[in-house]
Structures are given as C-alpha cells and as structure tokens.
Chain A
Amino acid sequence: MTDFLLELRCEEIPARMQQKASEDLARLFTEKLAEAGLKAEGIESFVTPRRLALIARGLPLRTEAVNEELKGPRADAPPQALAGFLGKTGLTREQLVERPDAKGNVILFAVIEKPGRATSDVLAEAVPAIVRAFPWPKSMRWGSASQTTESLRWVRPLQGIVAILGEELVDMEIEGVRSGFATLGHRFHHPDQITIGGANDYVEKLRACHVVVDHAERMGIIEAKAQDAAAARGLTLVVDRGLVAENAGLTEWPVPLLGDFDPAFLEVPPEVIQLTLRTNQKYFVLRNAAGNLASVFICTANIEAHDGGAAIIAGNRKVLAARLSDARFFWEQDKKTPLAEHARKLERITFHEKLGTVADKVERVAKLAEWLATEGIVPHCDPALARQAAELCKADLVTEMVGEFPELQGIMGGYYARAEGLPDAVADAIRDHYKPVGQGDEVPTAPVTVAVSLADKLDTLSRFFLIDERPTGSKDPFALRRAALGLIALIITNSVRISIYDLFHASEPLSKGSPDMGAILAADHFNDFIIDRIKVQQRDFGVRHDVIDAVVFLGGDDDIGGERDLVRLLGRVKALQLFVETADGTNLLAGYKRATNILKKEAQPPIAYDVRNGYAPEPAETALIAALDAAEPRAAEAIANEDFAAAMAALATLRAPIDAFFDNVTVNDPDPEKRSARLALLARMRDAVHGVADFSRIEG
C-alpha cells in the first residue's frame, strides 16, 4: 500500500469554479481507478487559485490479475462463427473452454488472463485522460500548441504537474507539460521552485511557502481573522459564507485587513453600501452594537505585506471611496425625480413582445391590486393605497441605482418612496412586492403589500399562460414556477379566500356571449399548474401528493370538480392526511377499496337502496345503515363549517360498521333483491366517503 499525490498547477482558476473542480477531480480519479480495479482507502482533495491537488491514501502497488471470460458460439455452430471468434480472441480451438448452458447446449468460452498492472502505469494513463476530459464550465486554449483548435483545453494555462506515487515519480506528459517533483510556492512570497517528496510532505511544504492548500482551512482563517479584527474594534462581522468562500478562492495566503471609510457615506442606504462593498470589492461589512452598518470594511489580501498592510488598506480605501461616491451620486440623482415620473419611463421597456411594456403591466397590476382590496379578498386593505403602491412598484427599474445594482429592485423603490414622503404602507409594498422569492423567504403580511405582490404574480402567470408560454421540463425562462410558489405562499399565509379560477378570471375576465376557448384552456392550465406547484411546495412540509389529489379531484365542490379554494383545500388535505394515517383511517380506506372493487365489477350502477320493499336486513346491515344515517349529515355539516377534523371524525364512525358488514354479510347473495340492496348500500357508503375526499386517489 502506498499514497499518491497529484498537483495540477495552472494560472489563476476563477474562484467560483474551484470547489466544483476539486470535487470533480476526486470523483473522476476514483472512477478511473475503479475501471482499472483499484480503490484508494481515502481521497483528500485540495484547491487554491493556482492548483488543483489530490492525495489518494492506501493504494495497492499493483492491480490484481483477473481472468476475463468472453462468451463465444455454440460448439456445434458453423465453422465461420468459430473462425470469427478465434480471430477476435487470438486463441486456438483447443484453448477454448466448453460449458453447457441451461438448455443443455455446449457453449464455447475464451478465458483471457489479464495480468496485474503496476499502479504507476495505471496512473500515468488515468491522469492525462482526466485532464483531457475535465468538465470545466468554460475552458480555453493557449500558447504555441493552440495553432490547432484540437490542443488541450484547461480553465487557464496548465503549467505544471506533480505526480508522486510513494516516493517515485509517475512519469507523464500532457501537451508538453511533464510531471516532476517540483512546484511553486506563493506567487510573491516564494516564487521559486520547491521540491515535493510525496503525499506526506505536500501540505506542510507548501504551508512553509505561504500556501494553504485546503480551501476549507483558508475559509476558516478568513472568518476567524475577520472576526478578530471586528472584535478588536468592538464591531460585529456580517458573516457571509459565499463571500468567505470567494475570498478563499482568490488567495493562497489570506490576510484579512480592516480599514475605515468616510462615515458621511452612511447616508446612502445600507443595502447599497453592502452591495458596493461585496459585489464590486469583495469586502466584508460590519455592524456596530446598535446593529447599524459601521463605516468600516475588511478586505482579504493575499500577502503578508512588509508594512503590515498599511499601503494595501490605503489603496483599498481610495478605491472604495470612488465607488461609494458613485453610489451616493446615483442616490442623490434618483431622489431628484419623483417615482411617478420615473414610472413614466417604463413605457420604454418591453415586458415581453406579446405582452407590451412594463408600463402596461403596471397598469394591469394596479387594477388587480385595487380589485383585490375593494372586494375584500385581501382583507383590511385600502384600495387607493393598493393602487398607488402598484402604480409605483416598478418605477425604480429605471433609476440609476437599480441600473447599477439590479438586485436592489424594490428595495430602492421603497427608499425613494419614503424619501418623497409617501405613506409607509405604500413604501413597504414597493419594497416587498417581489417577496417571497423562494421557499423560506419571508412572506408579506401587510395588506397593501399582499395585494400588490399577489396582483403582480397573478398578472405574470395569467398573461404568460394566455399566450401559451408555460414552463416545460427544465425550461422556465420567465420564472413562472417561482411566481406560482410565491402566489401560493401569499394566499395560504394570509388566508386569502378565492378559488383558483376566480383568481385567473379576475385577471382575464371571460367575455360574455362567445367565451374565448383559448382563455378557458389557459385557465385550466393555470389551475393544473397551481395544483402541481402546491404539491411541490407542500412536499417539504411532508404533505402527500396522493392526499392532495384526493381533495383536488373530489367531485362536485367548487367550480368544475373539486376543491379550488387553496386555503380550504389545504385545511382539508391536512386533516385527511392525519386521518388516513390513523388505524381508523387505514381500515376505512381498506373497507372503501373493497367496496369500490366490488362495485367496479357491476355493469349497472346499483339501484337506490330501500329495504322496506323486501327482506329483513341482517344486523350488520342495519348497523351500517344507522351509522351512515348519522355520519352523512355530520360530515356534510362539518365540511360546510370547514371543520375538517370533525368531518374525518364522522367518517371514522363508519369504520367499525363497515368491518362488521364485510365480516358478517354476503354481498353476492343468491337472492337478487338482497344482492342489489347490498350493492346499493356499498355505493351509499362510497358516496358518503366521497363527500369528504376521493379515497380512490389515496395510496396504500
């Protein structure tokens, strides 16, 4: 057993690609070795801006010898078949082995012995193959080899390969780069070659040359030292793991340094400052004891500077000051124009070629938001405020600041609205109307915000459905799935009571007289899409899709088919799921399925049940009838009152009588009258269950 070290050194790898590359290298290496029948006891992988490295521990020195068997023709096959097989295997007839198969035919087999190979030979082939096929998201050609487009592609020019098995070099050459024991240390601290002995001294030798090869360790250093620097100033670091990882991807020897900027810049909204620092400069921000942004930044240098970093901090301060001046300029410029005036420029922005401009969209959203408020669908919402907020909600898209930082859409609108003295409810609605943008994002509850956010998402969805631009497979260019999840979350969180179809038609009223078939179909697609999204959304909360189907496909409730009021739908689904997972629920489901199976076999639907005309029912029949007489009105009343737990409790009372019925009563009685009466009783039981949910949809 021995260890293998591989280092692929190149010019600076983009930070965002490093971690995936490190995982890919480990995975591809493991796969290539497995193909040769080798397995390491453990694999560690490392990545820095300038190197991808891997240590495989506990590799055998040779692969095992293996016998490979090739199945040939039957012993009595025509001579041409045999000759072909001998040609392919390079063996003679005498060397073939005869084996009978299951049918008693004799089959010829070639047994080819494959001797074990030296692991170093396997590696010398595997590594170049991995390098040539490496899945970089973007790769390039370089240097004199790039005379042809067939030359090696790598993320940036590949410069060196270290490949050492135990203490021996694994010799290989990839496009003029030959493996060796030498690598380079830190670009500035140790630019000269250093010689690596093998897997055991790699990490420490590089550390001595100012290179921390482990990405996670660099992240730890950055976070800890940034925390220390913050604490020394009595401040708190705003921890941003993505930013820590990015800085770890930009440094081999990370040195966080703290600097100040002019506190006068703090008049600019903190989100702007944070983004300027983060996006443009990759700096960390800090907060003071009161939780406000401090006029301090932390940058992460890649060197231990002679002067302790004074020049670096001074340089970064200057750059930051220029950036923040730009931001402050935008902030002041934008505020000079009222939002209503900005909003006029939305006429120039196309929303979608078939759906008009953003200004057109804004007008539709304003109408919808006002309607949601006027109708009380969003309760306690002032229609005038809802309209005003909706009319201004997209105005910030044409401001300088949002042009610079598109991720501040909404947020800037909120600031500008407040700056011009608009009501808080309007400013909040402008700020938050994009929410929620994903699972786990905060769901608005302020009425005006709910109205605008709901109207915005509904308009997007219904318009794209009306032009038949629905998501397909992995394609969802207009992020309609996300819009639907947002819509659902808003409805459920705020108990907005409206059916899916009413919602759609609020946005696109059906014309009277000759309804547009396209719009009717779009409404159906919209409904199906929302139900589908509910399943996705509720899966995370453990709600079963079959239970949702049982309520959705219920006959004859709202609109066409089942439950279309999302609030009621989910209430019912949750109660049903609780019930079907109890013993009563499971048994009732079993009894229900038994009953429906019997009924399915009948060509004719059973006649109405009336025992008075005929025979004396057995006690279990009488008991079931009594149970149904009691349960049916109870369940119906409970459903009407939206007390779904009570509806389930009513169904639960049927369980024992149904079990007793199946135990004691023969449905298939020779007397046609009894048989038909009992079938009718089963049908009544089924219908009673269907009053609550379509149990046939429930699995198990």
Chain B
Amino acid sequence: MAAKPDTLSFQDLILTLHAYWSRRGCVILQPYDMEVGAGTFHPATTLRSLGPNPWNAAYVQPSRRPTDGRYGQNPNRLQHYYQYQVIMKPSPPDLQDMYLGSLREIGIDPLLHDIRFVEDDWESPTLGAWGLGWEVWCDGMEVTQFTYFQQMGGYDCKPVAGELTYGLERLAMYIQGVDSVYDLRFNDAGVTYGDVFLENEKQMSKWNFEIADTEKLFRWFKDAEAECQASIAADVPLAAYDQAIKASHVFNLLQARGVISVQERASYIARVRDLAKGSCEAWMKTNGWAA
C-alpha cells in the first residue's frame, strides 16, 4: 500500500510526541546510551521512580530484544526497535486524558478508531518491579502499555508514577497504513525505515544468533556482575545500575544463543534482579530515603 502523504513520518511522530509532552512539563531526554530491553530500564524511569521527588520525563529509547531478531524477514518483528517512554511522578489525575490527547495529536481520532483500555498488569522480574494498568488497544492492536508503578527494585513507590510506553513502529505503521515496518516513511524526503535499519536487522540477527562468542558473553556477564557489586559497595549506585543493565543485556544475548537451559534461566534472572535491586537499594540509601 502506498504511504499516505497526509500522515506523520516516523521522525515527525517522535517530534510531535516530544512537543506534546514537553508542553505538559516533561523533561525531554535523549535515549540512554546503553543496550536495554525496554524503555523502563532507562535510569530516568527505574531510579527516578524511587523516592519522593516529583519527576516528569519523556524520551525515545531504542530497545534490544535479541531473540526477536528475524534477519529482516518478518514485517513486524525486530531485534532493535523504538519505544517512546513517558514517566510522570506522582501520576497526575488526568494522565489518561493527557495520553488520549497525544493520540489525537498524532492523528488518531477516537471517534473513528476504537480505543480501549484492556487490563494488563505489568511485572518485571529482572527489575523486581510491578504495577497495574492496561494495554491500550487501537482497533484491536496494542499500541501502548499504561502502568501505575507500585513497586520498583522491591521498594514501594511513594508516590506512584504513571508510565506510558508507546510502540513507535506499530503506531507509525498504523498511522501510515503500511504492512511492513521496512516500508515506513522515516522522513518526508524519501527515506524509509528499511533504508535506515534493514541491513542492521540482517547483520545483528546473524550476530545475536550465530556469531556472538558465548564464552565471552558468559565472562562479560560475570564481569558486569562483579563490577556492579563493587560499585554498590563504593556507594556509586548510578554506576552500579549501568552494570546491572549490561548484565541484563548480556543475559538476553545468551538466551538468543540458546546456551541457557530452562533451569539455569531462573537463576540468571535472579542474579540480574539482585543487581538491579542492589542498585536501587544503594540509590535509596545515598539519597537518604527510607523504604
């Protein structure tokens, strides 16, 4: 299907959301410069959702899911894609309305499209976190995860933050009416998403599944784990948390390489959770916040 010119390009979608959430008092951040599996891992969400201080931020976060790689063959699945993340603490009373306003802003008319809030409780075993909320459906497609954080790193959120995670590629495909992510108009000057990312998907899928040296990966995991623990001991929780993120990503790579058995999986998740929780605990401590 030919792209409709009256719809937002991929980059304009991002710029529109930036402008929208900026007007609502959010700090517009740039992506975190480390490999993460989801926007929630950005310290602007994980660590900032702890403690009493108000915090409103929005940012794009490239998300790496090595096991979702399909060598560029699947029109919907990618090992690298973008999430648009909004975090508002404390959760404002009109967060749902603000969110719906953002949909209108990017061209989704809720009297033409069926928008629904469908129960979806969120839990991240690796972050020791959970929350209640919904997946937001647009005409039967999940376009956003909407969560009220109740716990992070094993700590009660006081106050609770509201988190929105938009699946940018899905939303853009919907708005532009294309069936393959690679056909998305990235800008209005003739560049497609495929032009930018197809080759990355091919090469990275190959590396994730076939090339990555598992011996090194196992070593990196251990190194990151040790470095995280040392940083916690040295009261530099932000540095410790970086290492927790690194361990988490290396674990995802090991999974993609298929070298972690079912039994081992649970123990790796527990190790990453301990790192994340330890970083959160140190962060609470250095800030002088009580649990």
B residues near A141, Cβ cutoff 8 Å: 148, 150, 157, 159-160
Take A138-B121, A143-B93, A144-B90 as given contacts and tell me if A305 and B159 are in contact as well, using a CB distance cutoff of 8 Å: no
Q: A307-B112, A319-B141, A348-B262 are in contact. Are A250 and B159 (CB under 8 A)?
A: no
Q: How far is the CA of A159 from the CA of B92 in the complex (A)?
A: 12
A473 at the interface (CB under 8 A from B): no
**Is A143 touching B90 in the complex (CB atoms < 8 A)?**
yes
Picked from B76, B119, B162, the residue with its CB within 8 Å of the CB of A14 is B119
Residues in B with CB closer than 8 Å to A283 are 140
- The docked-state distance in angstroms from the alpha carbon of A99 to that of B119 is 62
The A/B interface has a contact count, at CB < 8 Å, of 114
Check A303–B119 contact: CB distance below 8 A.
no
Task: Give CA–CA (A11, B133) in the complex, Å.
Answer: 9
B130-160 CB contact bits vs A (8 Å, 1 = yes)?
A: 0111100011110000001010000011111
A315: Cβ under 8 A from any B Cβ: yes
CB distance from B129 to the nearest CB of A (A): 13
Mark B98-114 against chain A: 1 for CB-CB distance below 8 A, else 0.
00100000000111111
Contact B140 A149 (CB under 8 A): no
Measured between alpha carbons, how far is A348 from B264 in the docked complex, in Å? Answer: 12
How far in angstroms is the closest Cβ of chain B from A19?
Answer: 14
CB-CB under 8 A from B96, the residues of chain A are: 11
* Contacts A140-B132, A141-B150, A320-B140; A315 near B156 (Cβ below 8 A): no
Given contacts A14-B119, A146-B158, whether A140 and B150 have CB atoms under 8 Å apart is yes
How distant is B121 from chain A, measured CB to nearest CB, in Å? 7
A232 to chain B, nearest CB (A): 21
CA separation between A665 and B270, bound complex, in Å?
Answer: 83
Contact (A319, B90) CB under 8 Å given A147-B52, A149-B158 = no
Q: Does A478 contact B (CB under 8 A)?
A: no
Does chain B have a CB within 8 A of A299? yes
The answer, yes or no, to whether B174 is at the interface (CB within 8 Å) is yes
A49 partner residues in chain B, CB cutoff 8 A: 117
Determine the chain B residues whose CB is within 8 A of the CB of A322 once the complex forms.
76
Q: A360: CB under 8 A from chain B?
A: no
Tally of contact residues, A, Cβ under 8 A:
47
Q: How many residues of B contact A (CB 8 A)?
A: 41
Tell me the bound Cα distance from A303 to B100 in angstroms.
Answer: 15
Question: Within 8 Å of chain A (Cβ to Cβ): is B202?
Answer: no
The residue of chain B having its C-beta at the shortest distance from the C-beta of A144 within the complex is: B90
Closest CB pairs A-B (n = 9): A315-B139, A14-B119, A12-B117, A316-B140, A146-B159, A301-B114, A146-B160, A144-B90, A140-B132
Cβ of B139 and Cβ of A312 under 8 Å apart? yes
Within 8 A of A (CB), among B237-281: 261-263
A-B contacts besides A146-B91, A283-B140, 8 pairs, CB < 8 Å: A12-B119, A140-B131, A140-B150, A143-B93, A145-B159, A157-B91, A159-B93, A315-B138
Partner of A302, one of B116, B131, B261: B116
Contact with B along A144-160 (1 / 0, CB 8 A): 11111100000111010
Q: Any chain B CB within 8 A of the CB of A306?
A: yes
In the complex where A15-B119, A315-B113 touch, is A146 in contact with B261 (Cβ < 8 A)? no
Let me know if B110 and A303 touch, CB within 8 A. Answer: yes
Residues of A near B93 (CB, < 8 A) are 143, 157, 159
Q: Mark A2-26, 1 if CB is under 8 A from B, else 0.
A: 0000000001101110000000000
How many Å lie between the Cα of A314 and that of B114 in the bound state?
A: 11
- Cα(A12)–Cα(B115), bound, Å: 12
Q: With A146-B157, A311-B139, A318-B179 as given contacts, are A188 and B117 in contact (CB-CB < 8 Å)? A: no
Q: Is A189 an interface residue (CB 8 A)?
A: yes
The answer to whether B118 has its CB under 8 Å from any CB of chain A is yes
Least Cβ distance of B132 to chain A in Å?
4
Q: Which of A15, A143, A311 has the largest number of chain B CB atoms within 10 A?
A: A143
Q: What are the residues of chain A within 8 A of B118 when measuring CB–CB?
A: 12, 15, 250
Q: Are B140 and A250 in contact (CB under 8 A)?
A: no
Partner among A14, A146, A156 whose Cβ is within 8 Å of the Cβ of B90: A146
Cβ–Cβ contact B160 & A142, under 8 A:
yes
